[in-house]
Amino acid sequence: MFKDNDFLAFTLANPHGAAPAAFTTDTGIEVALWDTGILCLTPANPGNKDIVLSCGVHGNETAPIEIVRDLAKAVLDGSLPLAHRLLLLIGNPPAINAGKREIEENLNRLFSGAHSKGDGQNAERERANALEAAVARFYHERVDAQRSDAQRQEALRLHYDLHTAIRGSQHEKFVVYPFLHGKPRSKEQVMFLAECGVDTVLLSDDPTTTFSYFSTNEFAAHGFTVELGKVRPFGQNDMSRFKATADTLAKLVSQRELVLPAYDESRLNLYRISRVINKQSDSFAFTFGEDVENFTSYPKGHLLATDGAIEHRVELDAEAVIFPNARVAVGQRACLLVARTQLD
């Protein structure tokens, strides 16, 4: 089905859809293409993890796309054994082909049903709906195949949504840990991410419409938005900088039990979202330049942005800026402010 086992090349050659297909590899892996960029891999004797790896939700974030492409090749050609059920998702193929973050709308703000709210439809809204359905199908298929409640408890649901950021960052690799509505955070998952080279964790305290929040809220998965560095075009990524991430993800999918170190907060930078600043008019502007990095901190009272007559100033003793983007649509998030914290 895939020439040279290149799932990405097939996806980009069929950006708007692909007919479902299935086959079994020489190593006994059931391969099921559900749609373009949606590939379900099932080993003969699946372990206790149901793993979703997504990338390309923003089309210009190429390093995670390359990581997923290489992992898929290794599983399909048999060089990497598969121990667990695995769903690979390439989020926005038309935007990848265009080399753009999005075609019409930010796909990562369209989950948890947001794709069906408001007026009109577009390709990103249709894709968000399709990706939601794929995740639901993937997690439910194991449940449907099991016969007892005890067995249903065995599967550990995981979703790592891989990204790179528009700006550089004082912490190159960081993760957004979605709001869990009072449930405890997983120290084991935080240490898994640390093994991936992600030493900074941003704790969200509010519901969002991101892909990772959808999986955590709807299916009790351990879900994360994983930021692996700065946006660069295909061919310009130094993949050696992603070796820890790629190697640890390969271990996750290929080993039935992954041994992780004990929780060690000294290895981590922990932040909590203190405030969200939304753009309210076309006059919105930051007081800092395009070269200011994520996690740049400012003192209390510092003027961060203006929005017509509105002034946005630092409210705590110190707050750092994350994901600043003045070019978002009116009504969307222009940046996050975060402050240092500890795990729950």
User: 301 phi and psi, to 5 degrees?
Assistant: 95, -15
Integer Cα distance of 145 and 152 in angstroms:
9
Nearest to 62 by CA among 163, 161, 187: 163
Q: Which helix (H) or strand (E) holds 275?
A: strand 269-278
Integer Cα distance of 136 and 202 in angstroms:
26
Rg (CA), the chain: 20
227 is catalytic: yes
| Widest CA span in the chain | 65
Q: 163 forms bridges with which residues in the sheet?
A: 227
Q: What residues contact 265, with CB distance under 8 A and at least 6 apart?
A: 342, 343
DSSP symbol at 103: S
DSSP strand pairing (310-313 vs 303-307)? antiparallel
Q: Which helix (H) or strand (E) holds 191?
A: helix 187-195
Residue type, 56: G
Of the listed 227, 290, 293, 319, which one is catalytic?
Answer: 227
Residue type, 159: H
Question: How many residues comprise the chain?
Answer: 344
Nearest to 224 by CA among 247, 241, 249, 243: 249
Q: Are 185 and 154 in contact (CB under 8 A)?
A: no
Q: Are 101 and 91 in contact (CB under 8 A)?
A: no
Catalytic residues: 227
